[in-house]
Amino acid sequence: MSITDYESVIGLEVHVELNTTHKAFCECSTTFGAPPNSQVCPVCLAMPGALPVLNREVVDFAIKAGIATHCTIEPVSRFDRKNYFYPDLPKAYQTTQNDFPICTNGYVDVASGDGIRRIRISQIHMEEDAGKLMHHSEGTEIDCNRCGVPLLEIVSEPDARSAEEAVAYLRKLRAIVRYTGISDGKMNEGSLRCDVNLSVRKKGEEAYGTRVEIKNINSFNFVARAIESEFKRQVELLESGGTIVQETRRFDEKTGQTYSMRTKEDAADYRYFPDPDLVPVRVTKEEVEAIRKTIPRMADERKASYMVTYQLTPYEAERLTEDKEMSDFFEDAVAHTSYPKILVNLILADISPLFTEDTVEYPVNPVSLGALSDLLGEDEINSNTGRRILKSLLENDFDPKAYVEEHQLAQINDRSVLEPIVQAAIATNKRAVKDYLGGKETALRAVIGFAMKATQGRANPLLVEEMIHEAIVE
């Protein structure tokens, strides 16, 4: 047997830090980056006698996530205590939902090869974050600002079969939390964190193998690498006659390998029990329907409509909708052009890198970009000029049409104007012409380049090529 006879079986547990204004069970602020221990109170520090009160915004956000992932929103759910000691957890238990989570039985569809893979979501539950330990040479400091910050944990069924599918699923989840506005979904800042559960089995087998959990991976790239190396490790172990032990491992970014941290704890170790300080969470149908109305059109829906309305490829539509800001921008701009395909090319090739994780403002005025697409679509300027105008538009806004007139950038499509230039290009580049005629296709570029330069880049390059060809071949 070889590695190609095996497949990986992957389930993901994703933690999403919610951007509610207050913590889950007290009034403390959740703003990121405040001085250590400046956002704490008796409740989140677990002073004796302090009582938690559930922040209803957390419930609303959980419902949004549940709706967007096709879950059942449970009319009654409940908080439990997960007991364990660690210095970043002053309460010595985490308030979480174990037995009765708020959302159950959903799914997310992700692109896989030529088709679609449905990743089922077993549950989404609400819980709280712990504090942060900062290790120094002199010792360790504890910052409790994050204690009690609300999290959602989204648990998938073991439905992903490859690193690509797992990453596609994470990207979808990130888009979902961003579209619904419940989190900024930044993996590098920890607002989207992921544990990967992975087992292997021979292709065609039904039963799952023993799984290993890889904790807290903080980038898409590391998720993919961790999966690939863990898959390989498990297969090699089985092939050499070994057995997989259920354990928790961590991924080392430097070596690209996973390392054992501890053997897996049992649920019993946490002594879960219902939190006696918190009443059950009740959600009415009316509340769910009211929240459903606040959810914007999601990526999947936009993708499908772009493919039909603008004849975009699945790839183009997927890329455009990955990011809500970019998709909104496209929708604003496409209303101002008759050439959506050209607009899409400009956005995907030149503008998408400018939509960073922190984008709050469009990098270009969408009206101007629509006008630029028209100029290109109407052949009034060539792509060279288009790129130059776009560069200027990124610096400050103007009307591209007026700009083209003012700076005389219109493309030269007139054969009689180009004729002498083409003749000069041929005459000065005899060598290249000869090479071209001798079979060296790329040699023609020098001749075209000469003509382009002679027109300050304004000639229609396709027409120039055609004319040179006519002049030397025919």
Of the pair 12, 404, the CB lying nearest ligand ADP is at: 12
Q: Does 7 bind ligand ADP (CB under 6 A)?
A: no
Q: Which is nearer to ligand ADP, 5 or 99 (CB)?
A: 99
User: With binding defined as CB under 5 A, does residue 44 bind Zn ion?
Assistant: yes
Q: Does 11 bind ligand ADP (CB under 6 A)?
A: yes
**Using the rule CB under 5 A, is 351 a contact of Zn ion?**
no
Q: How far is the CB of 244 from ligand ADP (least distance, A)?
A: 10
- Residue 68 burial by CB count (10 A; 0-12/13-18/19+): exposed, middle or buried? buried
Q: How far apart are CA 314 and CA 303, in angstroms?
A: 8
Q: From ligand ADP, Zn ion, none, which one binds at residue 41 (CB under 5 to 8 Å depending on kind)?
A: Zn ion
Window contacting ligand ADP (CB under 6 A); options: 20-28, 192-200, 307-315, 460-468? 192-200
Is residue 211 within the footprint of ligand ADP (CB under 6 A)? yes
Q: Which of 208, 259, 273, 315 binds ligand ADP (CB under 6 A)?
A: 208
Which of Zn ion, ligand ADP, none lies near 26, with the C-beta cut-off 5 to 8 A by kind? Zn ion
Which residue's CB is nearer to Zn ion, number 146 or number 302?
146
List the alpha helices (DSSP H) in 295-411.
299-309, 314-321, 324-334, 340-346, 366-377, 383-395, 400-406
DSSP string for 9-66: EEEEEEEEE---SB-SSSS-B--TTPPTTSS--TTTTT-TT------HHHHHHHHHHH
| Nearest residue relative to ligand ADP (C-beta) | 11
Q: Measured from the CB of residue 27, what is the shortest distance to Zn ion in angstroms?
A: 7
CA 18 to each of CA 195, 202, 298, 300, 372: distance values in angstroms, whole numbers, following the listed order: 18, 39, 19, 22, 39
- CB contact at 8 A, 63 and 131: no
What are the backbone angles phi and psi of residue 242, rounded to the nearest 5°?
A: -85, 180
Provide the H-helix boundaries in 48-199.
Answer: 56-68, 163-179
Task: Answer yes or no whether residue 94 interacts with ligand ADP by CB under 6 A.
Answer: no
Residues 248-307 that bind ligand ADP (CB under 6 A): 267
Taking the least distance from each CB to Zn ion, the nearer of 48 and 438 is: 48
Q: Tokens 């023993």: give the residue.
A: 210
Do the beta carbons of residue 58 and residue 16 sit within 8 Å?
A: no
Write down the least CB distance from residue 184 to ligand ADP, Å: 23
Task: Count other Cβ atoms within 10 Å, centred on residue 76.
Answer: 10
Q: Does 156 bind ligand ADP (CB under 6 A)?
A: yes
- Do 151 and 15 contact (CB within 8 A), yes or no? yes
Backbone region of residue 271 per phi and psi (left: phi > 0; alpha: psi in -120 to 50; beta: other values): left
SS3 128: strand
Q: What is the rounded CA–CA span in Å between residue 238 and residue 201?
A: 10
Nearest to 214 by CA among 256, 267, 183: 256
User: Would you count residue 101 as binding ligand ADP (CB under 6 A)?
Assistant: no
How many residues sit in the footprint of Zn ion (CB under 5 A)?
5
- Return the residue of 66, 106, 158, 340 that touches ligand ADP, per CB under 6 A: 158
Choosing from 157, 331, 332, 466, the residue that interacts with ligand ADP (CB under 6 A) is: 157
Choices 21-29, 277-285, 405-413, 419-427; region in contact with Zn ion by CB under 5 A: 21-29
Binding status of residue 46 toward Zn ion by CB under 5 A: no
Which listed range, 19-27, 117-125, 235-243, 250-258, lies at the site for Zn ion (CB under 5 A)? 19-27
* CA–CA dist 309, 8 (Å, integer): 38
Interface with ligand ADP, residue 154, by CB under 6 A: no
Residues that bind ligand ADP (CB under 6 A): 9-13, 155-158, 197-199, 208-209, 211, 267
Residues that bind Zn ion (CB under 5 A): 26, 28, 41, 43-44
